[in-house]
Amino acid sequence: MLRPALSEILFGIQRTIIETLAPELSSPYAQSQAGSVAMMVGFVAASMASEPALAAAEVKGLASTIRAIHKLRDPALLADPQLKAALRAARRAATSRPPDRRAMEAAIAELAKALVLGRLSDPVAKEVRGYLRANLERIRSFVAPGLFPR
């Protein structure tokens, strides 16, 4: 395997910025910018390996939520023309190859709006809440290296 690996290069660039470049900067603004750049480079280094897996988990989570809601054949949802159309579009998006992430997110956005307005039955609400919880957890784990930089 070739070394340094990409993440090792980025961590090295972070060290170069902190240890070599920043001390040479006389401008406080430039020093502040260098600090921000160093932090972001570290974030990218720590997160880049996990990004594809998180993106795949997100698509999987969206598709399984949409499938589960579809299976419920919820009468209240099907009686709402807007939600019915959103769910139909989401089913197409979930079953296309590859799945259409943006279209699935659009459907979940409509369902989240319905959730906050109390328009969803309990079983459907449970599925939407489950997706939102998992989505927030995925976001939290992705940005954690930025919130707690090394």
Burial of residue 13 (CB within 10 Å: 0-12, 13-18, 19+) is middle
Q: Does 88 bind other proteins (CB under 8 A)?
A: no
* Alpha-carbon gap, residue 15 to 17, rounded angstroms: 5
Half-sphere exposure of residue 62: CA atoms within 13 angstroms, side-chain side: 27
Residue 6 dihedral angles phi and psi, to the nearest 5°: -55, -45
Amino acid letter at 87? L
Binding mask 26-65 toward other proteins (x if CB under 8 A, else -) reads -xxx--xxx-xx-xx--x----------------------
Q: Is 24 in the site for other proteins (CB under 8 A)?
A: no
Tokens 């961590």, located at residue: 11
Site membership for other proteins, residue 129 (CB under 8 A): yes
Which of 77, 90, 93, 111: binder of other proteins (CB under 8 A)? 111
Q: How many residues bind other proteins (CB under 8 A)?
A: 32
Residues in touch with other proteins (CB under 8 A): 27-29, 32-34, 36-37, 39-40, 43, 102, 105-106, 108-109, 111-113, 115-117, 129, 132-133, 135-136, 139-140, 143, 146-147
